[in-house]
Structure formats: structure tokens, C-alpha cells
């Protein structure tokens, strides 16, 4: 007890001690930071991979032929846009390259998958498969008029 200026007595409380974070909380926070950094790294890799495939000659040719073909426009509805996901592979060695890709296109009436297979010798691409497969209806071969 301590004396007050008015002559009374008051109880004095001990000072509050700051609790330090426990080791478990620090470990959990560190793991959360590592997990978020890992997820961000994976997301960047995925975006780079999809972006790289969208810039290939095989994708551009397949999308341009599909989006300008009157049969595809009639089946899907115009305008036609490219979907986000593209899968497959494009390889290049020396003057030779090959592509085997699948991607989606979106129309106003329905969507479709596009399959493109081709090889490049020098600067010239030769396609063996270029088909549009609508969600409903017959497949459209873009290599045949």
C-alpha cells in the first residue's frame, strides 16, 4: 500500500508483464510465410508456362483458323474467344519443331476444344491435325474446306 496526496491509502497493482510469443506461434508464422511464398512461386511458373504456349505459332494458327472459319462461327456463335487453359507440348531442336496442343475456344452459343498437331521444317509449318470439337455437334476439320 502507498499513501495518496489526500492522506488515504491505495492498493498498488504490480506492473503488467508483456507475454513473449511462444516458440509454436513463431514456428507457425514462419511456416505460413514459407507456404505463401511457395504458392506464389508455383502461380508464377504456371502463368509463364500458359503464356508461352499462347504465343506459339501452332496456337496462333489454330486459333485464327478456328475463329475465322464460317462453320465454326455458325456452330459456336460469334465472336469467338480463346479460353485460358492450353495443354500439350511444343518442342524445337535445331531447325525442326513439333507441336501437339489442345485448347478451348468460347462462342456465344457453346464452347469447343481445338486440337492442333504439326511439324516445322525450317520456317514452314505443316499441320496434320487441326480440328474443332464443339460441346454439342460434329467435329470440324479446319484442314478441309
Nearest to 114 by CA among 75, 90, 83: 83
Closest-CA residue to 52 (of 104, 88, 80, 81): 88
What pLDDT score does 95 carry?
80
**pLDDT given at position 68:** 94
| Average pLDDT value for residue range 79-105 | 90
CA distance 12 to 23: 33
Q: Domain limits of the chain?
A: 24-55, 57-141
Binning pLDDT at 50, 70 and 90, where does residue 29 land? confident
Give the pLDDT confidence score for residue 145 in this predicted structure: 81
Section 84-93 average pLDDT? 87
Q: Judge whether residue 17 has pLDDT over 80.
A: no
Classify domain 57-141 by CATH architecture.
Roll (3.10)
Mean pLDDT of 59-63: 93
- Nearest CA-CA partner of 140 in 77, 91, 74, 71: 71
pLDDT for residue 112 is more than 90? yes
Residue 81 has a pLDDT of: 93
Average pLDDT over residues 44-62: 77
**What does the DSSP 8-state code read for residue 84?**
E
* Mean local confidence (pLDDT), 136-142: 93
Residues 70 and 77: their CA atoms lie apart, in Å, by: 10
- Specify the pLDDT at position 5: 61
Model confidence at 3: pLDDT above 60: no
The yes-or-no verdict on residue 72 having pLDDT over 80 is yes
Amino acid at each position: 500500500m502507498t499513501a495518496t496526496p489526500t492522506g488515504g491509502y491505495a492498493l498498488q497493482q504490480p506492473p503488467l508483464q508483456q507475454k513473449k510469443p511462444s516458440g509454436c506461434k513463431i514456428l507457425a508464422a514462419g511456416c505460413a510465410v514459407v507456404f505463401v511464398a511457395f504458392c506464389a512461386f508455383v502461380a508464377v511458373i504456371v502463368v509463364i508456362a500458359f503464356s508461352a504456349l499462347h504465343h506459339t505459332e501452332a496456337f496462333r494458327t489454330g486459333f485464327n483458323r478456328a475463329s475465322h472459319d464460317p462453320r465454326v462461327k455458325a456452330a459456336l456463335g460469334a465472336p469467338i474467344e480463346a479460353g485460358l487453359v492450353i495443354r500439350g507440348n511444343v518442342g524445337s531442336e535445331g531447325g525442326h519443331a513439333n507441336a501437339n496442343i489442345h485448347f478451348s475456344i468460347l462462342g456465344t452459343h457453346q464452347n469447343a476444344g481445338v486440337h492442333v498437331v504439326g511439324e516445322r521444317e525450317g520456317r514452314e509449318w505443316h499441320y496434320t491435325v487441326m480440328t474443332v470439337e464443339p460441346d454439342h455437334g460434329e467435329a470440324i476439320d479446319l484442314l478441309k474446306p
